[in-house]
Structure 1
């Protein structure tokens, strides 16, 4: 028998226009997830709890927290809840959810219908005309997921509060963390995208400076945590302690919100955020193959050590439309897209693709072209259905006879040597390493989306140049490269 709040959630989710969901970034928390999140808070001797739910929706999360409190598991003598909800349609449902607690001794609440980002930011920034929000002992949140425009009122307000971030969910998380008392606890369900990439660099630094990570829970299925809202997103639940002591971090996983296959393991902090990582990527180790990449003594070189550079393809096609050509012709050179590569290598030109096959060579475009030579390339975007996230190919100059220059479109990452080609065996060795299962599984410990950035590939540790060359020599002598032979060879050569 579903609870009243769970019945409301399912009914509202089904009835809400998808365009509205997208506009507000609004997805409701299933009861099973809400209970799991509430269970993460540490029972302690605080007599007073001040709880923040900054995007309360219909009240699923604060309801789960309050249920745990009245059961006696959390020992607070009293609880005051501040619940923010800006959507007028949801406010009656929220009041109905919380109404059943009104007569509970020690409970008080305030439902705030203002914009949490504006209200919290103005208070934190010291706006004299705005009453600042109080400090909280606990925060529980499922924030909205939506990009913030750089010229929006939200971005301006956040900057005044000293917070620089690109999405509503990370803004909610940063503001809630700022409002916590020393050793206050926060539990949130959010997309995993902040764990890596340049766009969230400042946010990661803020989070890791302000708090200790106590636990991260990863849903292994992209589609099942919010299945009733058709959300296809890799989600995590993160448990933080404001200014807490850095202790081993629990990493738990389950396929979906039923938690029937829940597993957990503790990891030292330095395995989650590598000490020498200036980007401060947050790794979530879950795969058995991780050790061979993350801990292997023979896989400890940076691209800088190897004197290899990586860049996104310099040709941004929509900026050079007048120079693009459907097919090669006089004074034009190959323009390579991900569509020109497959498991067998490269295929160029391809008359049947919608993209151009060539770019005019002239004074304006020549600065974006590279010599026709050996390179290793990796697609910047993979589809969710593909088994591997990292997919590498070799550019072989023999495939482009009589061409002196090549264009690489911006949806490719290109390994090169200071804008020159790589030795043939090195290019093939890089390809083998990057196409291994062990590398792909390691990559997924810090990358939770389908985009593969040059910054991500720069953070990886690689085998030595000699080992990469040996892998390349081996690859060139194979009649066929399969996933099995690649994985076996990498294991043998790096053992």
Structure 2
């Protein structure tokens, strides 16, 4: 049954991609989830309650909630009822999602499980902000036992009404995928589980610090899967993106260990699996709250090796820029002729084949 589902759901995804413009999909950050990824994500969920409520905030054709439903009904301890709330604003893909929802209804009915599926042609962010805002006018919201998501990947225009609503709700991130994850975790009930596939960019850096603080305060990180190749997760869409999949549970109690798995691409059965202390993934006392995706053994870990340094860049009076240093932005530091404390600029120009590069 699962193999047939994988073929059916992937056929829908490939057919939709073939009939729509990649440019149009990119403009709304839409990259549909391959069925094999959806199956792996669904397998991350732990056994849940008898009455399951699933949130899929950017459902597309419905592959994620469909595989989640199939995984639940194939378990030994099956739920008594399943409810799905699926959000999608792209009118073109709604008919496919509605067909997927009907299929879930049929599977549950044949298995004697009560099912309710709701297709919401609404903006998830606007609805979720209204339901999670703490005020006298907050709308009483549904709380979910499961959230499974492949959110849109795109930056938010700083001039839009959305960014103002987010800031008013103290949700301060500039990328839409982090907004979806943030709001989804707020809609989970205590003990509720989330599995998401997103870029790994939120794991460090100042732009996602508030997001990390909220996520690590609210959620207990259980498992992270890392793709070694940037090309494989969404290869059909020619997406070069460093993605990770992660499973977390809403609650304050942190685990002693986090499962870190890695695969070259979609060969999840061949994944390398490590159990790493939580304190190595999120360092105690780290004010930046970085999430360390350390896939090396403890003795060879770069993090362990770098701890031999006793100073820091700030103590040495140094700062680092990870972007390109271009000459027109640093004219005051340029010199017409070499001096004792100058170095040649690193320019992006073709290097003559007959000349040898000099190490400096």
2:27 aligned residue: 23
Matched, 1:12 2:16: yes
Task: Report how many residues are paired.
Answer: 341
Q: 1:158 deviation in Å?
A: 1.5
| Residue from 196, 213, 220 that aligns with 2:204 | 196
Q: How many Å separate the matches in 2 of 1:305 and 1:165?
A: 26
For the Cα contact (< 8 Å) 1:177–1:242, is it kept in 2? Answer: yes
Q: 1:202 deviation in Å?
A: 0.9
Distance change in 2, residues 1:119/1:132 (3 Å): farther
Q: After superposition, give the CA deviation of every residue in 1:169-198 in whole Å (9 maximum; x if it has no partner).
A: 100000000111111100000011111111
| Residue from 218, 232, 239 that aligns with 1:224 | 232
For the Cα contact (< 8 Å) 1:120–1:132, is it kept in 2? Answer: no
Taking the TM superposition and a 5 Å limit, the aligned residue runs for 1:291-440 are 291=300, 293-296=302-305, 299-303=308-312, 307-312=316-321, 328=336, 337-339=345-347, 344=357
Taking the TM superposition and a 5 Å limit, the aligned residue runs for 1:47-66 are 47-66=50-69
Taking the TM superposition and a 5 Å limit, the aligned residue runs for 1:58-77 are 58-73=61-76, 75-77=78-80
- Please give the TM-score of this superposition, normalised by the length of structure 2: 0.85
Q: 1:300 deviation in Å?
A: 3.8
Q: After superposition, give the CA deviation of every residue in 1:87-146 in whole Å (9 maximum; x if it has no partner).
A: 000100000011123342311011111110111112222577774431111100000000
Aligned Cα root-mean-square deviation (Å): 3.0
For the Cα contact (< 8 Å) 2:177–2:198, is it kept in 1? Answer: yes
2:292 aligned residue: 283
Q: How many Å separate the matches in 2 of 1:220 and 1:304?
A: 29
Q: After superposition, give the CA deviation of every residue in 1:272-316 in whole Å (9 maximum; x if it has no partner).
A: 012232211111112359735322497142315863422439987
Q: How many Å separate the matches in 2 of 1:234 and 1:300?
A: 29
For the Cα contact (< 8 Å) 2:73–2:79, is it kept in 1? Answer: no
Taking the TM superposition and a 5 Å limit, the aligned residue runs for 1:154-169 are 154-169=162-177
Distance change in 2, residues 1:221/1:146 (3 Å): same
For the Cα contact (< 8 Å) 1:9–1:58, is it kept in 2? Answer: yes
Q: How many Å separate the matches in 2 of 1:130 and 1:29?
A: 33
Q: Secondary structure at the match of 1:256?
A: coil
| Residue from 136, 141, 152 that aligns with 2:149 | 141
Q: Secondary structure at the match of 2:347?
A: helix
| Residue from 225, 235, 239 that aligns with 2:243 | 235
Q: After superposition, give the CA deviation of every residue in 1:393-432 in whole Å (9 maximum; x if it has no partner).
A: x5xxxxxxxxxxxxxxxxxxxxxxxxxxxxxxxxxxxxxx
Q: Secondary structure at the match of 2:194?
A: strand
| Residue from 252, 259, 266 that aligns with 2:268 | 259
Q: How many Å separate the matches in 1 of 2:68 and 2:307?
A: 48
Q: How many Å separate the matches in 1 of 2:301 and 2:137?
A: 57
For the Cα contact (< 8 Å) 1:121–1:160, is it kept in 2? Answer: no
For the Cα contact (< 8 Å) 1:217–1:238, is it kept in 2? Answer: yes
For the Cα contact (< 8 Å) 2:33–2:150, is it kept in 1? Answer: yes
Structure 1 gap segments, 5+ residues each: 347-393, 395-495
Q: How many Å separate the matches in 2 of 1:271 and 1:228?
A: 34
Q: How many Å separate the matches in 2 of 1:226 and 1:32?
A: 11
Moved over 3 A (4+): 126-133, 287-290, 311-321, 333-338, 340-346
